[in-house]
Amino acid sequence: MKVIRTITEVRQEISRLRQSIGSAEATVGFVPTMGYLHEGHASLMRAAKEQSDIVVLSIFVNPIQFGPNEDFDSYPRDEARDVETARLQGVDIVFIPSVSEMYPEPTQTTVSVSQLTNRLCGASRPGHFDGVTTVVSKLFNIVQPQRAFFGMKDAQQVAVIQQMVNDLNMAVEIVPCPIVRESDGLALSSRNVYLSEEQREQALVLSQALRLAQETIDTNSSVTAANIREMLRKVIQASPLAVIDYAEIQAFPSLQPLADHEMVYGREDVLIALAVKFGKTRLIDNIKLHKSEVLSHV
């Protein structure tokens, strides 16, 4: 495995690996991350390894997707541990560019996806998704993968990147991968390290609310979107430290909110999505109903 820090070198190494495999058509699987890797990231690397000839992992805390009062400077970092995690998963290249390598001059070009980015996290984090789509498009241009692997914990990000790829005719397949959870149901996140013991315990309310919503939908053919929204808020607000950003039920991947009167039973295009703050830490979680992600991990 090679750790590479420049754009020129990563392109050269991908070309060299293709030559050593003996095929210019050798497939590249790409896992873009911001580091501080956990088992959720490891599951993406394993999926990439299974579906690709060459696996490239990037570690880059992207400054342009953070707002002025967000945690760019304090975002957790542990490069040595990340590199070892990648090695254990059989990654071929770890690309760790500096900010100056990715943005040698102030960016004058951005990639922006409209509509999908105005809701959920985009509503409370203006400009966030412009930063995400800009850096991901840059990384796609640098690595030129055939497949890119993203976790469904950030389902909105998956929908936005897929829309970008479709609209711009990018030659990359987006592979969504299931959420990975702790044994008690908490979705793995690099930001979980910020939680105090009490906040960590109360954060379990997210997966509990999702599980209850799914059970209700599975057993009640007359339940409406309004019923689910009310239920989510009631369950989460019972946790004293929880401050709700959103608790929403939407179609996926359009992210169009379901009307209050719409019935939910039997639908397979529904995303229930949560964003909740515990102190200064903002956690997101979701479930796509037909995947039963929460129930299979709790």
Contacts of residue 211, defined as CB under 8 A and 6 or more positions apart, other chains included, come to: 185, 294, 295, 298
- Tokens 């956690």 map to which residue? 283
Residue type at 36 in one-letter notation: Y
Q: What are the catalytic residues?
A: 41
Q: By the 8 A CB rule, do 270 and 251 touch?
A: yes
CA atoms within 13 A on the CB side of 110: 13
CA atoms within 13 A on the CB side of 29: 19
Nearest residue to 274 (alpha-carbon basis) of 176, 175, 154: 154
Contacts of residue 21, defined as CB under 8 A and 6 or more positions apart, other chains included, come to: 53, 54
Q: By the 8 A CB rule, do 142 and 13 touch?
A: no
In the three-class reduction of DSSP (H, G, I as helix; E, B as strand; rest coil), residue 47 is classed as: helix
